[in-house]
A = this chain, B = another copy of it.
Amino acid sequence: MAASGEDSLIVRYFGPLATDPGAFDLSDDAAILKSSADDLVVTTDAIVEGVHFLPGDPPDSIARKALRVNLSDLAAKGAEPAGFLLTLALRAADDQWLAPFARALGEDAVSFRCPLLGGDTVSTPGPLMISVTAFGRTLPGRMVRRSGAEVGDRIVVTGTIGDATLGLDILKGGAAATALDAAACDTLVQRYRVPQPRCALAMAVRDHASAAMDVSDGLAGDLAKLCAVSGLSATIDVGAIPLSPGARSMVEAGAAGIDRLLTGGDDYEILCTVPENRFEPFAAAARLAGIPVTQIGLAVAGTGLPRFRNRRGDDILLKALSYSHF
């Protein structure tokens, strides 16, 4: 008798991704992460159809998003990828969907040097759900926390902010879809569907940042969390927040409010605080890694919410700081 449907599915599609000896070719109940002098950083993020991706999204982009949202966490913690576990809840074992999903996941596993170690595949009558647990390694005690920011530190973000929420808006047929040309729309949609985890910046974050996290639920809310656990506040120069050409056109045309960009989710950029005297080496390391970094404000004393100031020095009032599931 052949192996059960679940087992043959796993071996066929995901066996080739399990290149680490600790994965035992997915033939066992558990995987091994070998002892080493490093701390192991573990993080887990799940994506759900209709919540984190759309029912019509291509399987390859869903696969990449599932892994990359976790790689983004590792990068923000200053950790190098070591491997991941995949839990897949499927309505049916559909080859047309699984083949491109597994292929793209495998490509990302290679690109980011993060092999599949194991996982679980279950059936569900509900929406697709992909849960990934990612492992990274850091020197002992060197994981970059959310809580290390100090008053006077520069507040820095990578890349551009707000693109993904506009991309989602386009997929839903919102204002952005009519305000931009097709190429600009495509760029924003890609930013929603396929995050670019800043793994190449992980060592610079580890070496120079006092605190860091990835921006996944909106810059305003995520910054508020970082400030709260660091016991301080922040002032942000809204004009300094890096926007992509598409996002900038939208704002200038009045088709998207800046508050929307600051509170939308799915950026998967790194938000970090860098002490004044570390900023130059940090920026140099970022240039070397080819990742744009922009100072957007300063950490200040206080316990209030971060303040977002426009060009005239007025505070922008944000209705909701970030995406919340509940």
Contact = CB atoms under 8 A, between A and B. Distances in A.
Interface stretch (A86-94, A178-186, A193-201, A251-259): A86-94
A120 B214 CA distance: 15
A122 B225 contact: no
Given A30-B42, A325-B6, A126 B126 contact: yes
Which secondary structure dominates chain A's binding surface? mixed
A7 B79 CA distance: 24
Contact of A30 (B5, B24, B143): B143
Interface in A116-172: 117-127, 129, 131, 133, 135-136, 140, 143, 145-147
A247 interface: no
A312 interface: no
Nearest to A142: B32
Contacts of A89: 46, 48, 129
A45 to B, nearest CB: 5
Q: Which size class do A's interface residues fall under?
A: 35 or more
Contacts of A290: none
A125 B217 CA distance: 19
A24 B129 contact: no
Given A3-B228, A30-B41, 20 more contacts: A3-B225, A4-B321, A4-B323, A27-B146, A30-B42, A30-B43, A30-B79, A32-B40, A35-B35, A35-B36, A35-B37, A40-B40, A46-B122, A47-B122, A92-B326, A93-B326, A121-B325, A124-B127, A126-B126, A131-B131
15 contacts: A1-B321, A28-B145, A29-B146, A32-B41, A34-B140, A35-B40, A35-B140, A42-B118, A44-B133, A46-B87, A46-B89, A46-B120, A51-B125, A121-B325, A124-B127
Interface of A: 1, 3-7, 9, 24, 27-48, 50-52, 73-74, 76-77, 79, 85, 87, 89-90, 92-93, 117-127, 129, 131, 133, 135-136, 140, 143, 145-147, 213-214, 217, 221, 224-225, 228-229, 305, 321-326
